[in-house]
Amino acid sequence: MKSDFQKVYKFISRIRRKYIIKRILDGILTAGLMFLTISSFLNLLFFFYPVTLLPLVWDFVLILTIIFIIIWFIDSIVLHKPGMIETANLVEQKGSLDHPLVSIALELKTVESQKIFTQKAYSGAAGQIKELPISIYSLKKWKIYLIVLTAVLWWLTNFTLNPVMTHYWKMPFAFLNKADAVVSPGTVCLPRNAFVKMSLEPSGTFFPSCRIKISSIKTGRESRYLILPDSSGVFSYQADSVRESFVYQFTYGGRDFNPETVLVVDPPVLYGLKMKLFPPSYTGAPQKELPDGQGDCFVYAGTKVKIEIQSDRLSDAYLIVNNDSCVMDTVDNKIAGEFTVYNPITYTFSLLDTFGQRNDSLPLFYVDIIPDDKPFVHFLKPGTNKSVNPEMVESLWLEAVDDLGLRTLKINTTKMVNRMNHPKNGTSL
């Protein structure tokens, strides 16, 4: 009868509908489980290593999950949708009847529905419905428990960690975004052992992290660091006790900013030394300029020494002579000073640059005295004392010697009076 066939048909249709729905739900659970697991892992990874590539990966995972669900849905209702007879066979396989008639009844409907045998088959199949299972597809409980667990884990990572990828889901192609920002302090000069704070302040687009590359000018060695923003959204990296110059470059989003240089200025040193000597007038020697870099010399007592040295970024300079110091005149990077030498001395310099760096460890120079012996006069003729008569002519020969040379020679003479013939005695010489 038609009523018996309708009962069988509705029973199988209901089972097939449940099969399709549960298959779709099973695919959604599988996709959701994978998505939540990967998302939780990416959240944890993003918390420790917030590179802009991870939100891109997360976006692709989300897109793939949605595509999978759509394809699975279409596949469940179109491609893998079981027919009525196939569903009946699956139901009978799960049942415990020795001679199931449901699938036979559905097959006979397609062949002949008016014969008595066919009506008997419908009636028998309708009677077996109560003894058949009502579902041929069951969802795994472990999968349900697992997706609940991963959902809780995702919720914890999404709402307790910072940064989190869901805040940056609008950056599917962050590496192509030429974000703008202000880099400070730019190219600067610093004293040795100072610290420098390099910052990047975004304007407009905001990314979860940026990179800074630091390259040593001396060795060429490179270091890369991942930087997270502070509470104001500024990315900063501080280098302490800087001892050598380096170049730094920020990478933010898809933009490499221009490299900047931090120049480390060493304490001031001498890189030029000139000495001029002005001998005392008694020597008759002309002034003399020593070769560049020569700071040690021998001079005559009373020589005036003028010194000119060169250094970078000077604010003050002191000439230290035998532990006594005096301020030198500073013009640009040239320093001038002078002193007069009467005894052997040592001298050096103390330099102070514009950064407040002082250098008291410069080389020690020496100025020694050339001995100046007194002139010597030797009487050649007469060689010994000689008595002469009045009106007698006598030649006087002298030899004068001096290490510096002679300018003049004066002879002082004194008349010797014979006291025996003094006028008082009535006789004169």
Residues 6+ apart with CB under 8 A from 409: 377, 398, 400
Supply φ then ψ for residue 13, to 5 degrees: -65, -40
Tell me how far apart the alpha carbons of residues 320 and 326 are, in angstroms, rounded to a whole number: 7
> Quick one: residue 119, left, alpha or beta (phi over 0 = left, psi -120 to 50 = alpha)?
alpha
In sequence order, what DSSP letters do the residues of 297-361 get, joined into one string? EEE-TTEEEEEEEE-SSEEEEEEEETTEEEEPEEETTEEEEEEEESS-EEEEEEEEETTS-EE--
User: Tell me: the pLDDT tens digits for 265-303?
Assistant: 888 888 888 999 999 887 778 899 999 888 899 998 889
* Rounded Cα gap, residues 175 and 182, in angstroms: 18
d(CA 19, CA 272) in angstroms, rounded, equals 95
Confidence of residue 419 (pLDDT cuts 50, 70, 90): low
In this prediction, residue 237 carries a pLDDT of 94
Q: Is 314:268 a contact under the CB 8 Å cutoff?
A: yes
Beta bridge partners of 326: 319
What's the pTM value of the predicted model, to 2 decimals? 0.51
Dihedral over Cα of 144, 147, 153, 158: its sign: negative
Question: Bigger pLDDT: 65 or 411?
Answer: 65
Q: Are 256 and 249 a contacting pair, CB within 8 Å?
A: yes
pLDDT at 204 > cutoff 80? no
The residue-averaged pLDDT of 2-27 equals: 82
CA distance 295 to 277: 11
274 neighbors 308 (Cβ within 8 angstroms): yes
Count each helix (H run) and each strand (E run) in the chain, helices first.
Answer: 6, 22
Q: Is pLDDT above 50 for 426?
A: no
Q: How is residue 125 annotated by DSSP? A: H
CA–CA gap between residue 178 and residue 391 (Å, rounded): 119
Query: Confidence band (pLDDT; 50, 70, 90) for 179?
Result: low
- Residue 163 CA: distances (Å) to CA of 42, 157, 159, 208, 250: 11, 10, 10, 7, 20
Which domains can be identified in the chain, with CATH numbers?
2-168 (no CATH), 177-265 (2.60.40.10), 272-369 (2.60.40.2450), 373-429 (no CATH)
Instruction: Compute CA 416 distance to the chain's CA centroid, rounded to the nearest angstrom.
Output: 98
